[in-house]
Structure 1
Amino acid sequence: MKIWLDTIDIDAIRKAQAMGVLAGVTTNPSILATANREVEAVLGEILDAQAGPLAAQVVSRELDGMLAQARRLAAISPRMVVKIPAVGEGYRAMSILEREGIATLATTIFETRQLALAALAGASYAAPYVNRIELSTGNAFEVVESSQRLLDAYGYRTAILAAAIKTVDQFLRCARIGVAAVTLPVNVFQQLYASSEDIEQSLRKFDAAWQSNGLTRDAALFQE
């Protein structure tokens, strides 16, 4: 399972990229609206900060508007992925854009039926909103699991990019289901590599044993 970050925090993006665990970055209108800079500059900086895809969402609800915005976003970089709401004309937009070679991500998914239609339309990715589904109906992981089974059964190329992940447990449950990727807010990503008292206690024991023996403590191989 791949990890994308859902953020415009450049420092966090660069750190994840340096760790070697970052597959891509997602944004949405709410996230981009928090920036005090032109959208084009923010997207360009994110592309420079990491080597993977970058997803940005259209804001039009009309077909012509979605297509025009999507094409402009795609022209920024071949690594752009265009997020399209999985409702109404969104499916038609996904189908047209994918045929043009523009990668799309079906977003705002709350039900398996939305993901099924997105797969039929040829979307590259589909993003069920895990935590929001859980708060709404309490069956988020049933939706994710049934969606993954559907994709597997029919061999659709659409990959699930589980979104709105709010806890490490939700991350792990998505991993156990076998989805292709998750997109995480920075705080949840940080929790994945955070230490704990058990970890620190084990490291202290290793250090104490090492320092107790002069031959290991002074070994040239391990000098900083």
Structure 2
Amino acid sequence: MQIWLDTIDFTTIHHARQLGVLAGVTTNPSILAAAERPVEEVLDALLDLQPGLLAVQVTSADPAVQLLQARRLAAKSGRIIVKVPAVGAGFQTMATLEREGIPTLATAIFESRQIVLAGQLGVRYAAPYINRIEQAGRDAALLLRESQQILDRYGQPTVIMGAAVKSAEQFMQCARAGIGAATLPADTYRLLFASSPELDAALQRFDSAWSANPLAAGSALFSAT
């Protein structure tokens, strides 16, 4: 499963890139609006910081304006994938862009029907909002499994990208469902590396046993210098 980062936290992006697990970076209007730099400058920095794709969302509900914005973004870099809300005329926008060879990401997904339609259109990625689906009282894990099964049944290459992933357990739901990608905010990404009381206790037992034996603790092979 690909790991994307849904953030403009450059330190976190650099960590994931150095670790070798970063497939790309996603943004949205809220993320870019919160930056204290011009949008164009932020996008350039994100493209320079990592070699993967960069997802950028259109900001208008008007299909003509969506196409205008999308074409500008595509002209800026061949590594930009255009995010379009999967509602109303957004489907027509994505269909047009995909025919033009501009890759799209269907966003703001709360129901499997949106993913099914995205698959029919050949959209590259479809991003269901995992945490928000659960907050609405629905089973996000079931939606992921059923949607992936439908895409597989009809041989549609659209990649489901779990979005709005707010916990390590939600990340694991994405992995267990067999979807192709998940995009994580910086805080959730850091949770993947977090310790636990059980793990801390196990490591402490190792340290205590090692320190208690002078022959082990004094080994030149394991010296810190």
Does the pair score TM above 0.5? yes
1:208 aligns with 2:205: no
Residue 176, structure 1, aligned to residue 166, structure 2: no
- Distance across 2 between alignment mates of 1:221 and 1:20: 29
TM value normalised by structure 2: 0.92
Contact 1:27 1:57 in 2 (8 A): yes
Question: Hey, what's the Cα distance between the residues in 1 that align with 2:205 and 2:15?
Answer: 28
Tell me by how many angstroms 1:214 deviates.
Answer: 4.3
CA contact (8 A) 1:133 1:139 kept: yes
Determine the structure 1 residue equivalent to 2:157: 157
Counterpart Cα distance in 2 of 1:112 and 1:45: 34
- Number of the residue aligned with 1:87: 87
- In the aligned structure 1, how far is the partner of 2:103 from the partner of 2:47? 16
Q: Secondary structure at the match of 1:193?
A: coil
| C-alpha distance in 2 between matches for 1:69 and 1:83 | 11
Equivalent residue number for residue 104 of structure 2:
104
Normalising by structure 1, what TM-score? 0.93
- The 2-side partners of 1:148 and 1:17 are apart by 27
Structure 2 matches for 1:25-174, cutoff 5 A? Answer: 25-174=25-174
Task: State whether structure 2 residue 217 is matched by structure 1 residue 217.
Answer: yes
One-letter amino acid of the counterpart of residue 49, structure 2: A
SS at match of 1:82: strand
The alignment's C-alpha RMSD in Å is 1.6
CA drift at 1:88: 1.8
- CA offsets per residue over residues 110-164 of structure 1, 9 Å max, x none? 1111111111111100001111122224232222222111111101010000111
Q: Quick one: percent identity of the two aligned structures? A: 54
Matches of 2:20 and 2:200 in 1, distance apart? 23
Q: Which runs of 5+ in 1 are unaligned?
A: none
Matched residues in 2 for 1:124 and 1:47: separation? Answer: 19
CA deviations over 1:69-115 (Å, ceiling 9, x no partner): 11111222222111011112211221221222221100011111111
Residues 167-202 of structure 1: per-residue CA shift (max 9 Å, x gap) = 222111121111111111111111110112222222
1:196 counterpart residue number: 196
Separation (CA, whole Å) in 1 of partners of 2:208 and 2:17: 33
**Residue identity matched to 1:35:** A
Instruction: Supply the distance in 2 between the matched residues of 1:9 and 1:111 (Cα, whole angstroms).
Output: 29
Query: Aligned partners of 1:58, 1:131: CA distance in 2, in Å?
Result: 22
Larger displacement relative to structure 2 (213-222 or 111-120): 213-222
Aligned residues: 224
Tell me the SS of whatever aligns to 2:56.
Answer: strand
Matched letter for residue 92 of structure 1: Q
What secondary structure does 2:175 align onto? helix
Contact 1:66 1:93 in 2 (8 A): yes
Q: Which structure 1 residue ranges, 4+ long, deviate > 6 Å from structure 2?
A: none
Range with bigger deviation, 70-79 or 207-216: 207-216
Q: Aligned partners of 2:189, 2:213: CA distance in 1, in Å?
A: 38
The more displaced of 130-139 and 150-159 is 130-139
Whether the 8 Å contact between 1:92 and 1:121 is mirrored in structure 2 is: no
